[in-house]
Amino acid sequence: MNRHVAYTPYHPRWHRQRISTYWWLGRRSYFLFILRELSSLAVAWFVVWLLFLVRAASGAASYQQFLEWTRHPFVLALNIACFAFVCLHAVTWFNLAPQAMVVHVAGRRVPGWIIAASNYAALAFTTAAVVALLLLRW
Amino acid sequence: MEIRRPIEPLLWLLFSAGGVMSALLAPVVLFLFGIAFPLGWLSPPDQARLLAVIGHPLARLAIFVVCSLSLFHWAHRFRYTLYDGLQIKHLNGAINSACYGGAVLGTLAAAYFVWRIP
């Protein structure tokens, strides 16, 4: 036996049951969980998309080119899919907000539905603001 | 045992801030420019109007903040999706660098494009 037993920072391994890589396909709630987590890819695409738009907006020709590009079937399909995922993200996010945010006013806890409702009100406000800024006649 | 890094709370903070920002703004932007304008449901604003809106200092700041926080939201969530979904723990280092590195690069790109708005 080795008498020079050195300290190692490695912890002994626990026994763990191996789980299939496709564990999330078995149950509806697991599947929805993975869909919700995958919505982050749609969020990333939204940023890339927004930056494309910002870059294209600097010139009349490039803006026209951008608008034509959005009519391409592949781009259109990608955007429709991403819109669906982004909506899933928004709904699940706002519905979870009451659990994540505990607000006390005058010593009493603000009910969850008020927190969720104020989040949806903020969504309605920003949506209306963007539409008004871009589309309404001043 | 995993060593607790003091940066983890900051990453969660960026994750949730980005979650709020993207939930508030992504649906309307993707709907207008991704679906409604290309399908002809609504007519897009002309270039001068769009430029007037996004060129405002507050709009520039908003675009930059939304882009950056949304990317950190993506980085954090996607990292855990790969971790939970695919169980590829041995690639953790590479995944973390790719996700957060991507968010940092995207933040720089956002700053550049927002700066370049005439």
Signed CA dihedral, A85, A90, A95, A97: sign only? positive
For the stretch A53-75, pLDDT in tens is 999 999 999 999 999 999 999 99
Q: Are A110 and B58 in contact (CB under 8 A)?
A: no
C-alpha dist (Å) from residue B111 to A107, B52, B70, B76, B107: 42, 18, 14, 21, 6
Cβ contact, residue pair B23, A90, below 8 Å: yes
Q: Is the minimum CB–CB distance between A120 and chain B shorter than 8 Å?
A: no
Contacting residues of B for A50, CB less than 8 Å apart: 29, 63, 66-67
The predicted complex's ipTM stands at 0.90
Tell me how far apart the alpha carbons of residues B92 and B87 are, in angstroms, rounded to a whole number: 10
Local confidence band at B104 (pLDDT 50, 70, 90 cut-offs): very high
Predicted confidence at residue B114, as pLDDT, reads 93
Query: The whole model's pTM is what?
Result: 0.86
Residue with tokens 């998309």: A49
Angle ∠(A135,B18,A31) on CA atoms, nearest 5: 100
Local confidence band at A105 (pLDDT 50, 70, 90 cut-offs): confident
Q: Is the minimum CB–CB distance between A115 and chain B shorter than 8 Å?
A: no
Secondary structure class of A109 (helix, strand, coil): strand
**For chains A and B, what is the number of CB pairs under 8 angstroms?**
151
**What is the Cβ-side half-sphere exposure of residue A100, based on CA atoms within 13 angstroms?**
15
Q: Is the minimum CB–CB distance between B84 and chain A shorter than 8 Å?
A: yes
Residue with tokens 């026994």: A15
Q: Is the minimum CB–CB distance between A11 and chain B shorter than 8 Å?
A: yes
Secondary structure class of B107 (helix, strand, coil): helix
For the stretch B43-94, pLDDT in tens is 999 999 999 999 999 999 999 999 999 999 999 999 988 887 777 777 888 8
Local confidence band at B2 (pLDDT 50, 70, 90 cut-offs): low
Local confidence band at A102 (pLDDT 50, 70, 90 cut-offs): confident
Cβ contact, residue pair A130, B29, below 8 Å: yes
Domains and CATH numbers, chain B: 10-116 (1.20.1300.10)
Cβ contact, residue pair A89, B23, below 8 Å: yes
**What is the Cβ-side half-sphere exposure of residue B13, based on CA atoms within 13 angstroms?**
5
B-interface mutation test, from A14, A31, A46, A131, most B Cβ less than 10 A away: A46
Alpha carbon of B92: minimum distance to chain A alpha carbons (Å) = 16
Q: Token pair for residue B62?
A: 């908003």
A-interface mutation test, from B50, B64, B66, B107, most A Cβ less than 10 A away: B50
Alpha carbon of A70: minimum distance to chain B alpha carbons (Å) = 6
Mean pLDDT of chain B: 90
